[in-house]
Each structure stands twice: as structure tokens, then as C-alpha cells.
Structure 1
Amino acid sequence: MSLAEHLNALEEAEAAEALRSCCAAPRWVTRMVAARPFPDEASVLAMAERIWWSLGRDDWLAAFAAHPRIGGDVEALRAKHGRSASMSETEQAGVSGASEATLQALADENEAYEARFDHVFLVCATGKSADEMLAILRERIDNRPSRELRVAAEEQMKITRLRLRKLGA
């Protein structure tokens, strides 16, 4: 079953739950559910982007809050966000083989990032090693807050696209 067929076949509450696992911004979920039926996957992805970029800071922060810290406590997030946290754990698989020094640096840098920007460091972690993610974090920590919010929103959209495609797989 294609992504569009899958989303179209779900009851409203089921569709909302499935979409929330891709992006936890409540207004994004509500608008995506309302946009059904979709003719094809390209339409789902285009609508996801259109809705995402029509939202603002508060919606973006709500989506970011559903993500665990890179290398952080996924179990705590799983209790809070269920399926979304399980996806995060899979996406962050590159952290599992990291050295103790890298894990400690990630913890320290994440703390500094959150103190500076008031939200979790967000990167599309799929296929990236812990060292790569640490380097990206270190590059981005010097961004202006307005720039970093936009970069994090772009990363969220990458994650959302990947997760939507997984729904249709």
C-alpha cells in the first residue's frame, strides 16, 4: 500500500497518530489530517512541506520538543512521545558505537546548545556517526538564534520526509 493509500485509509484519529510520529507539531498534524485524501506520495510530501513552512516558531518548537537529545535519554522520550521516540532511536543508531569521549562531548555540547537556543539540537541523524553529529553541532552553535531556528526547522522537515516515507513502506 502506498503512503497516500495508507493515510487515506486510516480513521481520523489513526491518521493523526501516524502523522504525529513523523512530526509532533499539533497544527501540522491537524492540517495534514484535514488535507486528505492524497492522490499520491508526491502530494503527501508536498503538502507536508507546504504546511510546515506555513507554521511558525511555536509550532516548530513543539515538534523539536518531541525529539531526544542526540545520544540522550530515548527512554524518557518514549514514555512521553511513544512511536516518535522509537523512530528517533533508530535514526540515532550512529551514536551506539561512539567512544566515551565523543558521548561526553555530545552531552556537554548539547547542554551548551540548549542553553543558547532554548531547544534541543536537531539534526537528521540517519546515516551519520556520533562524530559527524558532534561536528555539525559545533558548527551550528555559533549561528544567530534566528538562523539556527530556521536550520533546525529544515532538519525537522528532512526527518519528517524520511518518516513519512517509512509510513508508506
Structure 2
Amino acid sequence: MKANQPITLSSQELSMICSSRRWQQTMSEYQPFQDRNQFFHYADIAFDELEEEDWLEAFAGHPMIGDIDSLSKKYAHSQSLSENEQERVQHASSDTLEKLLQLNLDYKDTFGFIFIVCATNQSAQSMLAKLEQRLPNSREQELVNAATEQRKISKIRMESYV
């Protein structure tokens, strides 16, 4: 984006940032954004308006951490984003990846959604430790934790448009 040029994103670009349709619709209504600060400000407002079902829809737009196969299947539309975000996981040992995948499945069985963490610049061991730390939490706390991580991921993705 050029300085002083309004920011306007297509539906597809908004969906690459966050897969919650409510978030995308709200952001579409706020456009055009006059600058980077306004873009991020309205993103926060849109996130604040999300309800549980919207967050679950946003979470569903991510592959499971460590499940590299899902990057090329279900999430082809955002494959390069997810690959970059999970870059350090892709180089983990098969034992670590297997443990990540198993604990992710346990997490999903416990909470009803996948483990969401901002994976940028994090090792597989670091994410495994976070997953182990968060597994004992309540579902309510994990919704808050996952929503916080979703915001971080989305803001990193937003950076590519400003």
C-alpha cells in the first residue's frame, strides 16, 4: 500500500486474514480504512463483536499445529500463510510432530475446537509446551486463550496489506 492511500480489501483477502464470516462482513462495512491505524482499530472492534460461534468458525480456518498434511488439503486457500506460520514446526522430529498431533486431538476432544496458538517464530517444542500447559484449562478459559491467539495471527496477516 502506498502512504496516504486508503486500504480496501476484497472478500477473499479478508477471508485470508480471518475465516469468521461475521468478522469479514463487519470489516467490509467499515471499509475503506484511511490508514494502518484505522485498519487495525476496526479489526479490534470487529473482533470484539464476535460471539462463540464466530470464534469457532475462525478457529476452523486453521490447520492443526503439526498436522502438515492438512496444510495441502483442507486449507489450500491459505496454505502459504499457514506454512509460513508453522515453518519451524515443519522441521521438528517425527516424535515431536506425533506428540503434537496426539495432544491436538486430545485438545479437540476436550474443548470441541483445535488448539490455536500464534506459531510464528515458535519451535515445535515451544508449542508442545504451550499445548500441555493449556490442556488442563476450562473450556471457557480456552475460548479466551484461542481468541487471543486468533487476534495475534490475524494481525500478523493484516501486516501484509499495509
Structure 1 distance, partners of 2:2, 2:19, is 22
Asked if the contact 2:62/2:75 (under 8 Å) is kept, the reply is no
**Aligned residue for 1:140?**
134
RMSD, aligned CA: 1.6
> Counterparts of 1:33-44 in structure 2 under 5 Å?
33-44=28-39
Percent sequence identity is 38
Does residue 78 of structure 1 match 2:75? Answer: yes
Cα deviations by residue, 1:46-83 (Å, 9 ceiling, x for unpaired)? 1101111111100000010010000112111234xx0x
Aligned residues: 160
Cα deviations by residue, 1:59-115 (Å, 9 ceiling, x for unpaired)? 000010010000112111234xx0x23211110001121112111110110110000
User: How far 1:7 moved relative to its partner?
Assistant: 3.3
Structure 2 distance, partners of 1:122, 1:5, is 33
Out of 9, 13, 19, the position equivalent to 1:18 is 13
Structure 1 residue runs of 5 or longer lacking an equivalent are: none
**Aligned residue for 2:105?**
111
Cα deviations by residue, 1:142-168 (Å, 9 ceiling, x for unpaired)? 111001001000000000100000122
How does the TM-score come out when normalised to structure 1?
Answer: 0.89
Partner amino acid, structure 2, of 1:33: S
Does residue 93 of structure 1 match 2:87? Answer: yes
Structure 1 distance, partners of 2:38, 2:52, is 25
> Counterparts of 1:120-159 in structure 2 under 5 Å?
120-159=114-153
Structure 2 residue runs of 5 or longer lacking an equivalent are: none
Structure 1, 69-78 or 103-112: larger mean CA deviation? 69-78
> Runs ≥4 in structure 1, deviation > 6 angstroms?
none
Structure 1 distance, partners of 2:5, 2:130, is 37
How does the TM-score come out when normalised to structure 2?
Answer: 0.93
**Aligned residue for 1:46?**
41
